[in-house]
A and B are shown apart, each in its own frame.
Chain A
Amino acid sequence: MTTTTLAALVPLLPFLGAVAGLLLGRTAPGFVRPLAVLPTLTSLVLAAVVAGRQGGGAAVDSATELTPTGSVPIELALHIDGFAALVAVLVGLVATCVQIYSTGYLRDDPRYPSYAALVSLFTSAMFLVVYSGDLIVLLVGWEVMGICSYFLVGHYWETPEARAASLKAFLVTKLGDVPFLIGLFALATDAGSFRITRILGTVASGGLDHPTLIALLLLAGVAGKSAQFPLHTWLPDAMAGPTPVSALIHAATMVAAGVYFIARLLPVFEASQAAMVVLAVMAAVTMTGSALAALAQDDIKRVLAYSTIGQLGYMTGALAVGDRGAAVFHLLSHGAFKALLFLAAGVIIHAAGTNSLAAMSRMRNLRDRIPDAYWTMTVALLALAAIPPFSGFFSKEAVLGVAEHVVTGHTEHTPAAAGWIVLVAGLLTAVLTAAYAMRLWLLAFRGRGTEAPDHGRQPLTMTVVLWVLAVPSLALGGFAFRLLPDWFDGRDLGPTLTTSVLGTGLALVGGIVTYAAWRHTTALAARVPLGAVAAHPEGDAAQVEAEAIATHKPAYGDIAYAPDPADPGRLLLGPLHRHAAAGFHLDAVYTVLFVRPVQAGASLVRFLDREVVETYVRGAGALPRWLGAAVRRAQTGNVQTYVSALLAGTVVLAVAAVLVATGA
């Protein structure tokens, strides 16, 4: 088979698996698990074969036009360069792991068939985004991901948190998608095509008329999808979905789509200096803000969600300084270790019966109950904190190295200001990242107090996957930074001495300070008992998690916050803790800016409809009713009255006829 055929099969197989899973879900439950896992696994193999054949050489381009569609043609096009090939492998790997993990995690869930089908459909859409060479086809995958995300986040729709979170995720990403669509049209109008290759050709020849406008419009969509400031608020709330969904959608793939999109069309953004600066500022605010917020969260998955936002900030930062190689490198390594973090967090939540770090810090021996999760999570947290030689170190140093490169004057398209912004924010975030990774590890695994509840052995499907993902988290970076430049733009991705020393040193400082703070506060934990634990030894992990999410707010008063004086984050952040826990009150700002006006408008419309329009309608109904009542009075039942009226009419008609006949 040709590479093109193989590449076309990659998105097609999970799609067919999703359709078959939806159709057979009720009639043949035995087929659901194979239908969920096998197509995704095959797609992973095929994606790996495609990547091997492409081999970092010339991009594979193929296009066919199904039907003429007006002025700007829409084509089914493939554009597979090194970025696409490798990102597809990552998507396939994470999706396969998640599907396998889900068979154990949602073992007894009655809605598992539709869940697995939606995950398959989502995977297919992400493959489509990755491989597509046509922007409209890419947009199809982009929107399918949005709707799948809506359904999957709302999987526990019995809980109000999940319902609100799915709606919020959908609306906020759509808020970005509208300008994104307009930007796509503007771009295609300027370039005369939706094909990525032609657009890049137009940009190279300087044929783009409105680069800043287009870049900013596209940035809005990217910010929505990749959860960048100010459209990031949906991602922490989306943790109300099942943990595998968080791992797949909100860590490794969907949020990566925005970064990947910019990486594909980087020359378009580079055509506008203003857009690059905006991108840099966005990345910097996102990075530092989300790292601060992560330090204050109580829900373990929300910590990871804010961490995801921060790492995505690194990627956009790399893009802002004009190096997509570093961005996609970090995307790959982050995809691996963040998926691992989420899946391990799922195991922890199941074992502990709670998603609250405050409750976990009051449990003894949690790490002995789940040794697999303990060791793999340690690896992933070290990767997250960018400690050498884990993969996160190399990718993050690549980003910082590029920023330093720009700062020192080697700018091509990028303003030096962007380099400074990204470098400073990146170093600051390195401290905070190490701090919250340390806090997470200490609170989850170094708790002391009562014995952790026994939820039995974790299913094999859930623990094996952790080790599979631990391998790239551990080793990917060290091997990849030499190989990847062949696949990417050819720029060196190796760590430079200055940033390596600086970054690692800062990370160590952050970790040690957090450890010291924890030693200081942990004595308080015994004095303040806290925590609510869901115990379902027979139930599957999803049931435990749904209950944990539903009880967090009643138990602690807030979905993101617990009044725990033993939290080292509280000591480190000081007065900032309260604001950071609430995400710096961005939701409140949105409520004032958007939700209230919309609700006021809705109530105005309702008033107009009920009171004004309805009045006319009622009036229109009342007049005939009155007329009818008046006419009804004539129906007395007295035959003589009827005959009188009849004859009176006859006389009138006869006289009229006579008058007409005689011409009077």
Chain B
Amino acid sequence: MHLAYPAVLSALLFCTGLYGVLARRNAILVLMSVELMLNAVNLNLVAFDVWLSRAAEETLHSGQALTLFTIAIAAAEIGIGLAIVLAVHRNRGTADIDKLRDTAERHDSDGPDHDALAAERSDEDQKAEATA
């Protein structure tokens, strides 16, 4: 079989997962996309292992061994990742990635929108107190 088939399929799957990671809003969908990327890598590993086990003398089947490891690590990652997403959802009421903006620039040094932002924030605080 032509080696380019699995290689190209792997590349395309990887980029699909990449798009998903970058474009999806829900954290669980992002995790799914990460799984896609990992599987693309796995396919690459398996394909090259099969190729090299015929072409080279001694390969120790490293590709397949690493694939197994990757699968195991992916399982661990999905477990931890879901736990984190659940924790975030519990604390913030949302699992949307683009609402988790704690590292954003605060505009508190200068700039015209500082006051407006502060007023807005204090409004939010008041509303929060009112609802609570």
Binding site for B on A (CB under 8 A): 629, 632-633, 635-640, 643-644, 647
A-B pair number, CB within 8 angstroms? 32
Closest 3 CB pairs of A and B: A637-B104, A637-B101, A635-B105
A640→B101 CA distance, assembly (Å): 11
Contact A640 B22 (CB under 8 A): yes
Given A629-B111, A647-B18, does the pair A640, B103 have CB atoms closer than 8 Å? Answer: no
Contact A636 B101 (CB under 8 A): yes
A160→B98 CA distance, assembly (Å): 69
A497→B67 CA distance, assembly (Å): 134
Binding site for A on B (CB under 8 A): 18, 21-23, 97-98, 100-105, 107, 111
Contact B103 A637 (CB under 8 A): yes
Contact A643 B111 (CB under 8 A): no
Chain A residues near B100 (CB, 8 Å)? 637, 639
A9→B64 CA distance, assembly (Å): 103
Given A639-B100, A640-B98, does the pair A632, B105 have CB atoms closer than 8 Å? Answer: yes
* Nearest chain A CB to B36 CB, angstrom units: 15
* Nearest chain A CB to B102 CB, angstrom units: 6
Contact B104 A636 (CB under 8 A): yes
Chain B residues near A637 (CB, 8 Å)? 100-105
Contact B101 A644 (CB under 8 A): no
Chain B residues near A639 (CB, 8 Å)? 97, 100
Given A629-B111, A647-B22, does the pair A640, B104 have CB atoms closer than 8 Å? Answer: no
Tell me the nearest residue of chain B to A629, going by C-beta. Answer: B111
A629→B111 CA distance, assembly (Å): 8
Chain A residues near B107 (CB, 8 Å)? 632
A165→B101 CA distance, assembly (Å): 68
Mind listing 7 A-B residue pairs with CB under 8 Å? A635-B103, A636-B101, A636-B105, A637-B103, A639-B97, A639-B100, A640-B98
Contact A643 B21 (CB under 8 A): yes
A647→B15 CA distance, assembly (Å): 11
Tell me the nearest residue of chain B to A642, going by C-beta. Answer: B103
Which listed residue, B22, B97, B104, B111, touches A644 by the CB 8 Å rule?
B22
A643→B22 CA distance, assembly (Å): 7
Contact A640 B97 (CB under 8 A): yes
Tell me the nearest residue of chain A to B98, going by C-beta. Answer: A638
Chain B residues near A644 (CB, 8 Å)? 22
Task: From B97, B98, B107, name the one whose CB has the most chain A CB atoms within 10 angstroms.
Answer: B98
Q: A633-B105, A636-B101, A639-B97 are in contact. List 19 more A-B contacts (CB 8 A).
A: A629-B111, A632-B105, A632-B107, A635-B104, A635-B105, A636-B104, A636-B105, A637-B104, A638-B97, A638-B98, A639-B100, A640-B21, A640-B22, A640-B23, A640-B98, A643-B21, A644-B22, A647-B18, A647-B22
A44→B22 CA distance, assembly (Å): 97
Chain B residues near A633 (CB, 8 Å)? 105
Task: From A629, A636, A637, name the one whose CB has the most chain B CB atoms within 10 angstroms.
Answer: A637
